[in-house]
Amino acid sequence: MPKPRPDIPHVAILIETSRSYGRGLLRGVRKFLSLRGPWSVFVESRGLESSLPPWLENWHGDGILTRTDSQKMSDVISRVGVPTVELRATRLPVGFPFVGVDNQATGRIVAEHLLNRGFQRFGIYDLVVETYFKQRTEGFLAAVSKMGYSTSVLHASGHRERPVDWERNQDRLVKWLRELPKPVGLMACTDQLGFWLLDACRRAGISVPEEVAVVGADDDETLCEISIPPMSSVRFNAERIGYDAAHLLDSLMAGGEVPTSPLLIPPLGITARQSSDILAIEDRDLADALQFIRQRACHGIAVTDILRVVPISRSSLERGIRDLLGRSPQAEITRIKIERAKNLLVMTDCTLDVIAKQSGFNSAQVLCECFRRNVGMTPVTHRKKTRAGKKRVFPGSAD
């Protein structure tokens, strides 16, 4: 039997406010509370490495949402002995149910972004200190290997707290970049690593994105926009993660069962900026054809429209696009239209009629049929599954 709930559960939220991802998690928690609350919440301005509030060890609250940064933090929270949900993928054996980013999907999305721009040479700049970096790398490598390409990997080394360490590491990064065959598409496992990559490209005199395209992860607006050039990055669905974590904690505080596996939320997609805004294709006709598809797919074009503006035979176009992307020109048109529809479903409240029109489909019915065929679900189901603030039932929930 579920235990009686206090009138207002007392919850400690130990999530950093210094990063855009943490603030996105908090917005998701707020959305949950606006629908299902209230809680009495402790929250403070903090960084990822901030110390625990001193009162926590003797606290008699009801639940904790945490981004655990150290073994000491994990030990203290364990001793408190209340339902806890972890929101940081960590190497630490914290033992709490986890809700967070699907990092394998993160790496795969970056690889697909670069593959769709015609890159055939790839690299990864990562860290080996955390499990989620390894998972992002694995996802990227699997997607690239599936297309028959190889990847060069460089592990970031050490901390960069002193100027001498910073300069030494940037020199090492410059050396690696100069040795890579060009053009090359690179994944940085975080936006911070991507920022360092772009700095090293400037030092080495390497043009971005013409010679090196860079994609980061987390879409931290400050880092991405201050980078030169502005950096493309993976958008995480932080609000949905925060919402689902709050929902799970609410279930646990009501006596629900602890889930046996993590709840992983796929990224929303990539915010494309100048650092990867290029088609790395040596064949000029094919490059022009793909550029036309990218610009006009959502205007309802057909393959015959491509042939009117690019001096190439249909057979050459079909063969060339298949060799580059592993799919036909029509399939690439459809893919871009579907991605546009996905983005509108998640980021707007537009009706299906409006989304169909803005995505290049003749009607909402055609959109639904194509969406189900390519995505495996209806547009409405996709909107419900990917947007923060939806109702979600967890194992053992009182719902």
- Interval 119-138: pLDDT, tens: 999 999 998 777 889 999 99
Q: Is the pLDDT of residue 6 over 70?
A: no
pTM greater than 0.85: no
Q: What is the spatial distance between Cα 27 and Cα 264, in angstroms, rounded to a whole number?
A: 18
What sign results for the dihedral spanned by CA atoms 328, 334, 338, 341?
A: positive
Where does CATH 1.10.10.60 sit in the chain? 284-386
Per the DSSP assignment, residues forming a β-bridge with 73 are none
209, 68 contact by CB (below 8 A): no
pLDDT digits 0-9 by tens, 268-313? 999 999 899 887 777 888 888 988 998 899 999 999 999 999 999 9
Where does CATH 3.40.50.2300 sit in the chain? 10-98+239-259, 103-237+270-276
CA distances, 374 to each of 114, 315, 358, 368 (Å): 21, 25, 18, 10
Question: Which of 87-91, 166-170, 180-184, 195-199 is predicted with the least confidence, judged by mean pLDDT?
Answer: 87-91
Q: What is the spatial distance between Cα 203 and Cα 175, in angstroms, rounded to a whole number?
A: 10
What sign results for the dihedral spanned by CA atoms 90, 214, 198, 46?
A: negative
Query: 3-state DSSP call for residue 319?
Result: helix
Average pLDDT for residues 317-323, to the nearest whole number? Answer: 91
pLDDT digits 0-9 by tens, 9-19? 999 999 999 88
Using CB atoms within 10 Å of the CB of residue 170, give its burial: 0 to 12 exposed, 13 to 18 middle, 19+ buried: middle
pLDDT the model gives residue 396:
32
> Of 65-69, 231-235, 260-264, where does the model show the most confidence?
231-235
Question: Which of 155-159, 225-229, 242-246 is predicted with the least confidence, judged by mean pLDDT?
Answer: 155-159
Identify the helix (H) or strand (E) that includes residue 233: strand 232-235
Average pLDDT for residues 90-119, to the nearest whole number? Answer: 89
Note the CATH number of domain 103-237+270-276.
3.40.50.2300
Fold of 10-98+239-259: Rossmann fold (3.40.50)
The pLDDT-based confidence of 74 (bands split at 50, 70, 90) is: confident
Query: 3-state DSSP call for residue 304?
Result: helix
**What is the token pair recorded at 184?**
């090359």
Q: What is the spatial distance between Cα 368 and Cα 374, in angstroms, rounded to a whole number?
A: 10
Contacts for 345-351: CB closer than 8 Å, 24+ residues apart: 345/379, 345/382, 345/383, 345/386, 345/387, 346/268, 346/383, 346/386, 346/387
Q: May I ask the CATH architecture of the domain 284-386? A: Orthogonal Bundle (1.10)
Range 40-52 burial, b when 16+ CB lie within 10 A, else e = ebbeeebeeeeeb
Average pLDDT for residues 162-170, to the nearest whole number? Answer: 80
143, 271 contact by CB (below 8 A): no
